[in-house]
Amino acid sequence: MLPIGINAPDFELYATPQQKLRLSEFRGKKVVLAFYPADWSPVCGDQMSLYNELQKFFEMENAQLIGISVDSRWCHAAYGEQHSFYFPLLADFEPKAAVAKIYEAYDENTGECRRALYVIDESGIIRWNYLSPIGVNPGADGILNALEEIDNLKTIQQ
């Protein structure tokens, strides 16, 4: 995992079959990067559905959730539509896992992303990270606590 306190590396990936997103487009917002192994898998479906249910909380925290896996943009489009996700799923497909490798969230043995989470502040600094065992849904407590800690840190600095 990349260490806390460094600038999050910028990247650009497909969010839809025709549209790309850059991480830097979200400056001024907190960002939650959720790397996950694969669309249509049971644990990933539970994890992404949980985050989808927390969309209003993320909005209140001025945070954008972004899911990333090595599945294709077409697979993400079908998966996101099937589950009515409110957040983008980015395709780290070609070159395969280029972003996951930069974020040290790629498993060379399985050819999939690890279940890695990063919380990035409004300035683009990594403030929290977590690597979950592959078969375990990491839940949202760590993310929610990290978002709250960013706000507390800003209050202390003011």
Cα gap 15→12, rounded to integer Å: 9
The β-bridge relationship of strands 112-113 and 115-120 is unpaired
**Are 143 and 21 contacting, i.e. CB atoms less than 8 angstroms apart?**
no
Cα–Cα nearest to 105, from 74, 131, 127: 131
What is the separation of C-alpha 149 from the centre of its chain, rounded to a whole number of angstroms? 18
Provide the token pair at 6: 């460094």
What is the separation of C-alpha 38 from the centre of its chain, rounded to a whole number of angstroms? 13
Catalytic annotation present for 75: no
**Are 123 and 101 contacting, i.e. CB atoms less than 8 angstroms apart?**
no
Q: DSSP for 66-96?
A: EEEESS-HHHHHHHHHHHT-SS-EEE-TTTT
Q: Which of 15, 43, 44, 116 is catalytic?
A: 44
- The residues carrying an active-site annotation are 44
